[in-house]
Amino acid sequence: MKKWITYSLTLLFLSSWTLTNAQNAGKAGKIWYSNDQLFVNIVNKGVLVVDNKNPKSPKKLGFIEIPGNIDIAVKGDILFANNHDDLIAINISKLAKISNKKIVKRFDGIFTQYKDSKGDEKIKWVKPSKKRWMASPTSVIASGSKGGSMACFSLVNDHLYALTPSAIHTFDVDKPKRMKKSGKPTDIFGDNFETIFSNGENLFVGGQGGMYIFDLDDPASPKAIGEYHHMQSCDPVVVEGDFAYVTLRNGNVCGRSKEINRLEVIDISNPSSPKLRFSNKQLSHPHGLAVDKGIVFVCDGNFGLKVLDATNSGNVKLMKTYDDIPNNYDIINIPEKKLLILVGQTDVVQYDYSSPRNLKRLSMFKTK
């Protein structure tokens, strides 16, 4: 593979997004779903925890205050989060007891895209203002752990991968209290890196100039094996089977032309040589996305949730648009439940997507 050209890492989209929203703290950001609980980042403030056993009747459990928080991931009883530029692991087995004492590990200065930690800020649990927020949920079978497409964290078995603008940091999280770095950071040059996704075999990193693929033959040391370049834009990615789905959009440092806004389908059957299969330009300002059996759900900013049929990868068609919440940002799908969880501004909306052409709204709530 040709050597990536190193150039100065200037303005990263994620840091740009963070600084912009710091002035409007209280907006929802990234999301993570684990064992029927939903974790919603409130930009720069912390994490809202929601009991989601019954998506028709979610229940706010409370709020974990984490100053400067943007990125989250959950494995079992451990919440991984950035506390400004530090990576922390918090034991959340007993929510009411969350405090600085429940931080089982801290790694200083990992996230170079965020400002330095002040070092004296408190992590604490805040109870909801009402004892009962919505109807009591019923019991359903628990599901695994999954993050949205805008994530800077990826969990694969016993390894956590944390993305910075120029590197992938790998941590062995088999035993959280003994959590440790695995090898040296995988340095990546020649782009501004924003999002990370895994299909279990490879890592897919979205950058402003392209998508980059790393194999996990050695989980402690991801190795670059392929890259796909596109025009300068913001670029989250999800993967299903032999195809990667990438949304491109304009704005700020992500490019100026409206022609950038699109969904690209990339053939990754040969990960060392990914190739463009199709480009759909029926989008206005796409952000996060999810896919299930060739049906792609795209958060199209203020232009609604777009449902696209990509079962024919060579001819992706727009099926329908839903306008339930403004400024759609990120989305998670739980295939075994046919459940979509969508976040935007100060709202979370959930759909049953058993019929992709006719989504059924299950619930909607404010994150405030």
- Residues 262-311: pLDDT tens digits? 999 999 999 999 999 999 999 999 999 999 999 999 999 999 999 999 99
Q: What is the pLDDT of residue 26?
A: 72
Q: What is the pLDDT of residue 50?
A: 97
Higher pLDDT, 225 or 116: 225
Q: What is the pLDDT of residue 115?
A: 87
| Averaged pLDDT, 132-143 | 35
* Cα dihedral across residues 148, 154, 160, 166: positive or negative: negative
- Asked if pLDDT for residue 223 goes beyond 50, the answer is yes
Structural domains in the chain?
A: 13-116+146-366 (2.130.10.10)
Q: What is the pLDDT of residue 136?
A: 32
Q: What is the pLDDT of residue 354?
A: 97
Lookup: tokens for 309? 């049929």
Higher pLDDT, 130 or 15: 130
Q: What is the pLDDT of residue 252?
A: 55
59 beta partners: 51
Query: Is residue 246 packed enough to be buried (19+ CB in 10 Å), middle (13-18) or exposed (0-12)?
Result: buried
Residue 313: band (very low, low, confident or very high) from pLDDT cuts 50, 70, 90: very high
Using CA atoms, how far residue 126 sits from 43, 76, 218, 271, 322, in Å, is 16, 21, 40, 45, 33
Q: What is the pLDDT of residue 130?
A: 59
Largest alpha-carbon pair distance within the chain?
58
Q: Rounded mean pLDDT of the chain?
A: 86
